[in-house]
Structure formats: structure tokens, C-alpha cells
């Protein structure tokens, strides 16, 4: 049984409890981060906690959580659960207060929880074989730049895709691809690497930012601009980025095979570069 973290304490997973009045539960008034763990070490931890601060500031949470404290419970969770490869999920809710649409004016104690989950990251089947995605309408709100736990539409989109035999959904607004259900999207066409500009309609991924750096290192120029469903379907290569998927090749979009239906060469070189860097900077 896992040991999880809740409000300063480590508990068995079935003993950790949250109040029924928690605003995270009642209003999805909460933010989260997922940090990947490789060889029992944290990848890009600093960027994740910085984004957590940003999300909390955007929602006007009155207090932030100390970064050293976050690092300490991440490390302890890795140790307690003997986690070699996987992720740590951390969630911070505004806290517990009588139910009201009006957010509390006074500072209340946030609820902080975290747990580990094992996952194959380096040698995953999806990295080896690539994934198939379908497109569907993006029906989410317009503040997807904040990493909130208001994830119902993303979960519906992913489920619709898997029910139809795909691995994930790429969402569209006015014909342009925004992002995947839990990842950023990229295509390569005639040697142009493209990923959507980071605006309020997507989460600005940590992996996306690092991959932009990796591409530069490999002397590739990336155009950060939105692209259409038609651009995607006729791409030479496609991939998605996220903390636990790293760089995952996409080999089919709707009924269109991408390239020769196998992970593309550029995608593979970028993934290798990303992993090299991740292992160097892991803490």
C-alpha cells in the first residue's frame, strides 16, 4: 500500500482524508502539478513548482507553498514508496470553507496533497510504437493556461477517443488544434517544426519549453504558431509532449497515417536529446 502526503503528514493511502467542504471537491477550486521521476530522481522540479505558484496566483490564492517544503515531501514520497520510475502528483486546493460561489475574502489554509504513481517513462510502448489520435471540438473554458483540476472535458475527450480505438484526442477551436487531452501538440511539415503559441487556450507545458531548447540545441528552428487539423493530417511527423510521456510520436491522426506510420526520425532524435538532458539535470 502506498504512503501519501496530506497537509504535512504521511499516511497510508486509505487513511488520508479530505473534508467534504473542500473547495477543490465542490468547485474544482484547486491546482496541480505532475512531476516525472526517473531513477528515483525528479525531472524539471523547479519549473513545476514555479508553474504551481503561477496557477495559484492566477486564481488569487492568498498563500503559496514553500518550494523547499514541496521538495522535501516529494523526496520523502519517493523514499517511502521506493519509487524508481513514475510520477508525483501534487494538488493544492483553496481549502475548507462553507460552500459559497463567492470566494473567501480571508486567507484560509490550503489543502495540500501528493501521491506517487508508478509508470514506465523511458521504455514505454507508446514511445516505441507511437500513438493514434482523433480530433474533436475543444469545449473547455478559456483559461487553460492555469493548471486547475477542472479536467472533466479533457477526461471526456480522452474517453471518447479511446472508446473509438484511438489513444488520445487533439482538440480543435475554429479548425485550429489547441492541445491534446493532457499534452502539447507538435507537427513537422516540409522541415518546419510547429507547435501552437502559448496563449490562454493551452497549458504552457514544461516539456514543451524544454523541447524548444532541445530543438535549438539540435539546430532546428521551431515555429510557435497554431496549425489546422488539415495541416496535422498531412504532416510528415507529429508528436506530443508532457511530463510523463516526454516526447511521444503520433503515427495516425483521424484516418491519415503520418509519414510511414512509424515514429519519425526527428521525433526520435528529439526524444533522445530530451532524455539525455533530463538525466543530467534530475535532482
Q: Return residues touching ligand PMP (CB under 6 A).
A: 34, 179, 182-184, 203, 205-208, 241-243
Judged by CB, which is closer to ligand PMP: 47, or 220? 47
Least distance CB 69 / ligand PMP (angstroms)? 21
Reading the block at residue 21, the C-alpha cell is 467542504
Least distance CB 209 / ligand PMP (angstroms)? 8
* Cβ–Cβ < 8 Å for 95, 23: yes
Reading the block at residue 211, the C-alpha cell is 523541447
Judged by CB, which is closer to ligand PMP: 96, or 196? 196
Helix ranges (DSSP H) in the chain: 23-27, 45-58, 67-80, 125-129, 152-163, 206-217, 229-233, 265-281
Judged by CB, which is closer to ligand PMP: 31, or 34? 34
Judged by CB, which is closer to ligand PMP: 93, or 148? 148
CB burial string 209-220: b at 16+ within 10 A, e below: ebbbebbeeeeb
Least distance CB 182 / ligand PMP (angstroms)? 4
Residue partners of 235: CB distance under 8 A and separation at least 6: 187, 188, 189, 253, 258
What letter does residue 121 receive in the DSSP assignment? -
Least distance CB 207 / ligand PMP (angstroms)? 3
Reading the block at residue 9, the C-alpha cell is 503528514
SS3 call for 187: strand
Residue 147 appears among annotated catalytic residues: yes
Residue partners of 37: CB distance under 8 A and separation at least 6: 43, 78, 83, 84, 85, 86, 87, 88, 116
Judged by CB, which is closer to ligand PMP: 96, or 211? 211
Least distance CB 63 / ligand PMP (angstroms)? 23
Least distance CB 22 / ligand PMP (angstroms)? 21
Judged by CB, which is closer to ligand PMP: 96, or 267? 267
- The Cα–Cα gap between 203 and 149 comes to 12
What letter does residue 106 receive in the DSSP assignment? S
What angle is formed at CA 92 by the lines to CA 89 and CA 95, rounded to 5 degrees?
145
Q: Which of 132, 147, 158, 252 is catalytic?
A: 147
User: What are the catalytic residues?
Assistant: 147
Amino acid at each position: 500500500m502506498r504512503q501519501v502526503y496530506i497537509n504535512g503528514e504521511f499516511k497510508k493511502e486509505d487513511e488520508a482524508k479530505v473534508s467534504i467542504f473542500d473547495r477543490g471537491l465542490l468547485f474544482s477550486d484547486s491546482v496541480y502539478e505532475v512531476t516525472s521521476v526517473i531513477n528515483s530522481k525528479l525531472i524539471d522540479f523547479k519549473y513545476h513548482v514555479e508553474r504551481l505558484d503561477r496557477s495559484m496566483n492566477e486564481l488569487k490564492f492568498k498563500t503559496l507553498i514553500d518550494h523547499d517544503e514541496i521538495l522535501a515531501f516529494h523526496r520523502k514520497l519517493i523514499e517511502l514508496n521506493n519509487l524508481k520510475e513514475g510520477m508525483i502528483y501534487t494538488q493544492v486546493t483553496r481549502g475548507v470553507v462553507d460552500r459559497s460561489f463567492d470566494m473567501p475574502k480571508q486567507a484560509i489554509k490550503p489543502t495540500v496533497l501528493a501521491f506517487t504513481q508508478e509508470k514506465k517513462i523511458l521504455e514505454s510502448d507508446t514511445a516505441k510504437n507511437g500513438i493514434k489520435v482523433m480530433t474533436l471540438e475543444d469545449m473547455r473554458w478559456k483559461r487553460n493556461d492555469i493548471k486547475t483540476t477542472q479536467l472533466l472535458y479533457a477526461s471526456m475527450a480522452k474517453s471518447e477517443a479511446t472508446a473509438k480505438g484511438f489513444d488520445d484526442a487533439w482538440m480543435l477551436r475554429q479548425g485550429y488544434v489547441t492541445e491534446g487531452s493532457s499534452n502539447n501538440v507538435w507537427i513537422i511539415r516540409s522541415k518546419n517544426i510547429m507547435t501552437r503559441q502559448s496563449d490562454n487556450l493551452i497549458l504552457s507545458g514544461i516539456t514543451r519549453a524544454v523541447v524548444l531548447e532541445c530543438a535549438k540545441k539540435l539546430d532546428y528552428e521551431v515555429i510557435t504558431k497554431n496549425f489546422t487539423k488539415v495541416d496535422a493530417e498531412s504532416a510528415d511527423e507529429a508528436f506530443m509532449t508532457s511530463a510523463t510521456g516526454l516526447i511521444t510520436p503520433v503515427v495516425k491522426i483521424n484516418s491519415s497515417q503520418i509519414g510511414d506510420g512509424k515514429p519519425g526520425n526527428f521525433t526520435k532524435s528529439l526524444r533522445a536529446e530530451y532524455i539525455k538532458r533530463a538525466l543530467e539535470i534530475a535532482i
